[in-house]
Amino acid sequence: MSGGAEPTFLLPERRERIDRVVSQRTRTLTLVLDALCDPQNVNAVLRTCEAFGVQEVHVVEGPMKPYHRSKKVSQNADKWLDVVRWKSSRECLEALKERGFRIYAAHLGGRAGELGGLDFASKVALVLGNESRGVSGEALELADACYELPMRGFVRSLNVSVAAAVSLAVAVAERERSRGRHGDLDPAEAAALRERFYLLAVKQRARIAKAEAKRQATLSLRAARRAKARRGP
């Protein structure tokens, strides 16, 4: 914690879990949600990204209502992530390319190949498109490659949260094969993220303890009222 203080009110098991999670975090693989229609899908994908150790996620605002966090759908996963919002696909993807990311867009088309055949030795941003029209023309223009997920049945597409899970599973496996590992934060990044997660976990535990204390106080009050009612006036 800041100033060298120990993260009090945090169980050793929780600290170990946080340390393990941070060791498997990356900022060199990211996901771009290209103007999704349904904000709930955004929340579902954020949960998937957190599960795969993708620390940074980019959300291009969609044509309908903007994305707002939903604890029920994301299971609070977004609080552990860096969610970057953008007004346009071009602005987002050009910024990523300036940072050295290769752009791989999910797209059903003639130029699309299999994701597992692409290069994951460098930084990669996977782009998933709108639920009805797919990725934008700007994304296709700026993409270094397009990929499609192999389909064995009659359907030609997956729900975007499922597509995100399949895409990230392939990407993480290819990164581990070509790079030797998935988590790759440098020591300074890892230390900063660890401290941030410690703080979040302490706040979460404090809220749980406060809620439990309130619940116990309510139960005690009810018990006292029942006892008084049994004694009578």
Q: What is the pLDDT of residues 174-204, one digit of tens each?
A: 999 998 899 999 999 999 999 999 888 876 5
Determine the pLDDT at residue 197: 92
Backbone φ and ψ of 112, nearest 5°: -85, 135
Q: Residue type for 154, please?
A: F
Q: How confident is the model at residue 4 (pLDDT cuts 50, 70, 90)?
A: very low
What average pLDDT does range 62-67 have in this prediction?
Answer: 63
Determine the pLDDT at residue 232: 63
pLDDT at 111 over 60: yes
C-alpha to C-alpha distance for 74 and 176, rounded to whole angstroms: 26
Chain-centroid distance, C-alpha 171: 15
Question: Buried (b) or exposed (e) across 137-164, using 16+ Cβ within 10 A?
Answer: ebbbebbebbbbbeeeeeeeeeebbebb
Determine the pLDDT at residue 199: 86
Helix (H, G, I), strand (E, B) or coil at 101: coil
What average pLDDT does range 2-20 have in this prediction?
Answer: 72
- What pLDDT, in 10s, does the model give residues 196-233? 998 888 765 555 545 545 555 566 667 667 766 677 66
Chain-centroid distance, C-alpha 222: 42
* Helix runs in 61-159, H state only: 71-74, 89-98, 137-142
What average pLDDT does range 103-118 have in this prediction?
Answer: 88
Q: DSSP code of 130?
A: B
pLDDT at 73 over 60: no
Residue corresponding to tokens 């192999």? 150
Determine the pLDDT at residue 9: 65
Which of 62, 64, 136 shows the shortest CA–CA distance to 106?
Answer: 136
Determine the pLDDT at residue 109: 75
- The helix (run of H) or strand (run of E) holding residue 116 is none
CB 104 within 8 A of CB 78: no
Determine the pLDDT at residue 64: 60
Helix (H, G, I), strand (E, B) or coil at 140: helix
Q: Which CATH superfamily is 27-179 part of?
A: SPOUT methyltransferase, trefoil knot domain (3.40.1280.10)
Angle of helix 39-51 relative to helix 160-179, nearest 10 degrees?
20
Tokens encoding 79: 């609080």
C-alpha to C-alpha distance for 176 and 46, rounded to whole angstroms: 22
* Helix runs in 99-183, H state only: 137-142, 160-179
Cα dihedral value 97, 21, 86, 100, nearest 10: -10
pLDDT at 100 over 80: yes
CB 193 within 8 A of CB 22: yes
